[in-house]
Chain A
Amino acid sequence: MSEILKTELLNVSYGEKKALKNISISIPANEITALIGPSGCGKSTFLRVFNRMNDFIKSCKITGDVYVENKQINQKNVVVEELRKKVGMVFQKPNPFPKSIFENIAYGLKVQGVKDKETIKNRVEESLKQSYLWEEVKDTLNESALSLSGGQQQRLCFARTIAIKPSIILMDEPTSALDPIATAKIEELIIDLKKDYTIVIVTHNMQQASRISDNTAFFYMGELIEYGKTEVLFKNPSKESTENYITGRFG
């Protein structure tokens, strides 16, 4: 199985505080990998290493090697905008632009340089269909995205991300701000996306991790404690802290 994402001895610190210590991990393509662990254990920081969103935090220092599609990304000569077109991101709180539904999705395409109106129109429709949102908004594409419900907005954010056809999608607790019904719809969507994309998802919800993911990585206090197939990790964790976290003794 190809390793589409890889880190070797990754260390991340914010000023004096060490957020991630010596993380070495390989994440396979076209599978869903879940990152679990208590608050503040570094899973969001780890996620953001792959699309260099940590660059915006001035005090953040990264050492070690990070590979996306076998290319080193943690170097100065990497064009970060190109990286982010390959590695998309969905955030915890839905953040649609205050534009129309259509424009929200078209934005990413225009930023990429796509100018042809027909292409844009088709891609918008395609991504809305893939996000299970098309039927609900096909007649109201020109209305403001802010008029949608929370769950719909998050599906719109998914559509926006997949419209530019990345190979990897990073998801930072994408359902934690949504109600159970909206969450269920999005979980369905994520499983569906697996065939075309590699997915890495940070989640607080262990039931979610065990429901949808193929692999799971358990982080604790900035260290990667255990990583393996979800079934194995949940049924037969090899580390004691993993077992304690899963069974709810802490976190």
Chain B
Amino acid sequence: MNKLTKIKESIFPPFALMCSFIGIILLLIFIGSIFIDGISRIDIDFLSNLPSRYADKAGILTSWTGTIWIMIFTALISIPVGIGAAIYMEEYSAKNRFNTFLEINISNLAGVPSIIYGLLGLEIFVRLSQLGNSVLAGSLTLSLLILPIIIVATREAIKAVPNSIRLASYALGSSKWDTVSNHVLPAASGGILTGIILAISRAIGETAPLIAIGALAYVPFVPSSPMDEFSVLPIQIFNWTTRPQAEFLTNAAAAILILLAITFTLTGIAVYYRNKWQQKIG
């Protein structure tokens, strides 16, 4: 083995290790600079002010309340449908060509760019169903976006439930629904919960689909019904980022810190649950 090859071989492991960390290091640098810029901007006023033309008066009240409204309604819509679809595909549907077709379709939907879901929401929910650019339209749109995520995660969790549990239940004369609701779902609950939290975490970070359905940044009130107009944190961030004045960039930085705090908290909870659940099923 010649010298050059030997050098290549011994350099690779440390080089690869560097590559592994480069992404996270860059991310830390980015977040660090945002932190320096934005942390001082966060105060009670910032959290409770409405948006404004004046950077120092502007706040994220509408954005974070809007995010919460969207989060709740998206969860209400997508969770039952997603879990229902997953239960059907795993427990009720025969392993036939139709099931395969459903699977392929869901895989395809998972790969559709998020803005296309926005266009779908624009036509179907905003226009044709005449919901306007409301919280409901936004939630429906995001629900469709995260539906494949919930379905896949729930299916994986259901698949992991040992078959012996089902057989024991059937042997006692239980119906299929009894077995699913009393035995399979509880056993799979950890995995399902993890999947839901990750899906919701993804939904509240989405900007493009909500822009497409017309969610605005300048909404001078807190939504009080699902039919109200709304804004969300990512859109507020986007709006402030595109303003030329430097003070708005500071606002954006501060809002990003809030959004990241929410995202990391949710992801952290999901990972915690995933570890607990994986330990349980051994």
Residues of A within 8 A of B2 (CB): 113
Closest chain-B Cβ to A53's Cβ sits at a distance in Å of 20
Q: In the bound complex, how far is the Cα of B6 from the Cα of A81, in angstroms?
A: 13
- Taking CB atoms and an 8 Å cut-off, the chain B residues in 1-31 that contact chain A are 1-2
Chain B residue at minimal CB-CB distance from A112: B1
Give chain B's interface residues, CB within 8 Å of chain A.
1-2
Residues of B within 8 A of A113 (CB): 1-2
Q: In the bound complex, how far is the Cα of B6 from the Cα of A113, in angstroms?
A: 12
Chain A residue at minimal CB-CB distance from B2: A113
Chain A residue at minimal CB-CB distance from B1: A113
A-B contact pairs, 3 of them (CB 8 A): A81-B1, A113-B1, A113-B2
Residues of A within 8 A of B1 (CB): 81, 113
Q: In the bound complex, how far is the Cα of B1 from the Cα of A81, in angstroms?
A: 10
0/1 interface trace, chain A 81-124, chain B, CB 8 Å (1 if under): 10000000000000000000000000000000100000000000
Chain B residue at minimal CB-CB distance from A111: B1
Chain B facing A: main interface SS = loop
Chain B residue at minimal CB-CB distance from A82: B1
Q: In the bound complex, how far is the Cα of B5 from the Cα of A81, in angstroms?
A: 14
Q: In the bound complex, how far is the Cα of B2 from the Cα of A113, in angstroms?
A: 8
Q: In the bound complex, how far is the Cα of B279 from the Cα of A131, in angstroms?
A: 51
Q: Which 3 A-B pairs have the closest CB atoms?
A: A113-B1, A113-B2, A81-B1
Chain A residue at minimal CB-CB distance from B5: A113
Chain B residue at minimal CB-CB distance from A113: B1
Closest chain-B Cβ to A141's Cβ sits at a distance in Å of 27
Closest chain-A Cβ to B121's Cβ sits at a distance in Å of 46
- Taking CB atoms and an 8 Å cut-off, the chain A residues in 39-90 that contact chain B are 81
Q: In the bound complex, how far is the Cα of B2 from the Cα of A19, in angstroms?
A: 38
Residues of B within 8 A of A81 (CB): 1
Q: In the bound complex, how far is the Cα of B2 from the Cα of A81, in angstroms?
A: 13
Closest chain-B Cβ to A107's Cβ sits at a distance in Å of 15
Q: In the bound complex, how far is the Cα of B1 from the Cα of A9, in angstroms?
A: 33
Q: In the bound complex, how far is the Cα of B1 from the Cα of A113, in angstroms?
A: 6
Q: In the bound complex, how far is the Cα of B23 from the Cα of A138, in angstroms?
A: 50
Closest chain-A Cβ to B1's Cβ sits at a distance in Å of 7
Closest chain-A Cβ to B195's Cβ sits at a distance in Å of 34
Q: In the bound complex, how far is the Cα of B2 from the Cα of A55, in angstroms?
A: 24
Closest chain-A Cβ to B6's Cβ sits at a distance in Å of 11
Closest chain-B Cβ to A113's Cβ sits at a distance in Å of 7
Q: In the bound complex, how far is the Cα of B184 from the Cα of A177, in angstroms?
A: 42
Q: In the bound complex, how far is the Cα of B149 from the Cα of A205, in angstroms?
A: 54
Closest chain-B Cβ to A82's Cβ sits at a distance in Å of 9
Closest chain-B Cβ to A100's Cβ sits at a distance in Å of 24
Closest chain-A Cβ to B144's Cβ sits at a distance in Å of 41
Q: In the bound complex, how far is the Cα of B3 from the Cα of A113, in angstroms?
A: 12
Closest chain-A Cβ to B128's Cβ sits at a distance in Å of 53
Chain B residue at minimal CB-CB distance from A81: B1
Closest chain-B Cβ to A23's Cβ sits at a distance in Å of 32
Q: In the bound complex, how far is the Cα of B5 from the Cα of A113, in angstroms?
A: 10
Closest chain-B Cβ to A112's Cβ sits at a distance in Å of 9
Q: In the bound complex, how far is the Cα of B256 from the Cα of A157, in angstroms?
A: 59
Closest chain-A Cβ to B158's Cβ sits at a distance in Å of 35
Q: In the bound complex, how far is the Cα of B233 from the Cα of A26, in angstroms?
A: 77
